[in-house]
Structure 1
């Protein structure tokens, strides 16, 4: 089996760490699927130039929803796929990938090559499609409240097993929907990959984080939920269930007295989760609170929302290190619980 590389989207040309991992595990002759894009030709033009600049020899696997009935069965396309050392699924709409590829000879061939050692990478929608079921849509607050743009799960490519994945994770505040996706899929582990960041998942050995931001790990056990944030160079050993923090980061010893009474009033806002967790592990406080609710400009409005409680457990650890490359802090196993609330706002008289 080959290595999977899950990129959270918005991969930048100067992200040498992530491109080096893709080149290492997928090889130079990489087949690029632009199937998810609303403009596959433009996506290919952009990605071809990007990958060539990083030392690749990219090949366009030009299957779309519109032409899949022909190209996904074409012997010439299958020969092209067979000639590739690895594959990359570009971003867009993950539903386009599965509509075009599920049940086709090209996907069967790709799965066989992956089983025989070819690397497969994806970014944004390309990452989402790796799971089965895959997250096809939904907003965190709507999903938690069961109304509006709620979680949608659909059949995915199934290259990721017993794991739920999400992308643009911190930038788009998606931990609420990932929790629900894990419950519905019946899995105990979920990963949320943030933008310009990758999780490298070899067949054997620990998974490793590369890139600018974080990969969040959500663990669902009989005792409750825990969340961790891993940064550049940090690893997770699936066999042992252990986090291995890069030696450039050391355990936080002295709490910051300025960090207390921690609360986010919009916990599903961009980077509110990482803001809260990194400050909690620097604080002497034992817990922090996050809120999210449907706002209104009207006086005296009452709305449904959620309250998230983050709390330190005996396993909680915070680590501090250099701010580059990647993030400065790492966070291991903060407990969390979520409950529905009603928020009411009235003017002071």
Structure 2
């Protein structure tokens, strides 16, 4: 009984804490307990929340946007708006910026991260989102493609099931919301460890974060994060990397990376990504 009370107290502590940024590995629970989505809902203000949904990464933005609309409305948000932006120039239009101005939370859905990045990079929309997150007036969550765009560098695509090699991953610029991180999603579910290792070989100044489905890193705003959800978060830390042959190898040749640090975290674990230490 004491153990059960302790677990319930811990869960209450986690879901009642405001998380300025939540990075979700995709396929989060949308029908049962919805723990990750509820944690975002609470971070955005709970029943006082005004939530904006950005479904622009999806090929079916109306369907995807409406699904999250129904979820957050059912949870009791005061207002839910779908920012169904389909053209880049719309990101600077007052009709969307006025909605964003009153949002306490923005949820970015899955789809194609390259499409999403190209649509909103360098626009007023993303600049206002960054300003509000930095100022503490907005909770931001991204799932799948919405997670991939969070770092300064982004995995745009690639393959799995091979040894690490440069051709295994397609890399480009992300939106730099959390510049230190290089995020991969659907991680163990799609066997993407070699892909993340290949990405880190190309950008050893970044911290590799592989997030499983229905799993999330929930940032505290102080350089640390909690892990929420049913899967794991894999951290690839190249801070003590001694050598890699990335610069000298051809596209399809295998990579060597010496002296990486790897951590596997799950529900309730905490990590300081500024100082790269387990808490």
TM-score, L = length of structure 1: 0.64
1:194 aligns with 212
Q: Which residue of 2 aligns with 1:34?
A: 55
Checking the alignment, whether the CA contact within 8 Å between 1:18 and 1:210 is kept in structure 2 is yes
Structure richer in strand, relative to its length: 1
Distance in 1, matches of 2:116 and 2:241, equals 35
Instruction: Please give the root-mean-square deviation of Cα atoms over the aligned residues, in Å.
Output: 1.8
Residue 143 of structure 1 contacts residue 151 of structure 1 at CA under 8 Å; is this kept in 2?
no
Gaps of 5+ in 1: 245-349
* Structure 2: segments with no counterpart, 5+ residues: 1-18, 243-258
1:10 and 2:45 matched: no
Q: Could you tell me whether the CA contact under 8 Å between 1:207 and 1:235 is conserved in 2?
A: yes
Give yes or no for the alignment of 1:163 onto 2:220.
no
**Secondary structure at the residue paired with 1:6?**
strand
Give the count of matched residue pairs: 238
Highest relative contact order (Cα 8 Å, sep 6+), 1 or 2? 2
The C-alpha deviation readout for 1:79-133, integer Å capped at 9, x for no partner, is 1111100211000111111111112111221121122111110001100011121
Aligned counterpart, 1:61: 83
The within-5 A match list for 1:88-107 is 88-107=107-126
In structure 1, how many angstroms separate the alpha carbons of the residues matched to 2:28 and 2:96? 27
**How far off its partner does 1:31 sit?**
0.9
1:146, distance to aligned residue in structure 2 (A): 4.5
Greater fraction of residues in helix: 2
- State yes or no: 1:80 paired with 2:99: yes
> Normalised by the size of structure 2, how large is the TM-score?
0.80
* Structure 1 SS opposite 2:175: coil
Structure 1 residue 170: Cα displacement: 0.8
**Alignment-derived partner of residue 119 in structure 1:** 139
Distance 2:127 2:223 in 1: 26
Once the two structures are TM-superposed, the CA of residue 15 in structure 1 deviates from its matched residue by 4.0
Q: Pick one of 99, 118, 129 that aligns with 2:149.
A: 129
Secondary structure, counterpart of 1:51 in structure 2: helix
Q: Residue in 2 aligned with 1:234?
A: 269
Larger radius of gyration: 1
Provide closer, same or farther for how the CA distance between residues 226 and 205 of structure 1 changes in structure 2, counting only shifts above 3 A. Answer: closer
Query: Conserved in 1, the CA contact under 8 Å of 2:164 and 2:197?
Result: no
How many Å separate the matches in 2 of 1:188 and 1:109?
25
**Paired residues of 1:182 and 1:188 also in contact (CA < 8 A):** yes
Q: Does 2:157 match 1:140?
A: no
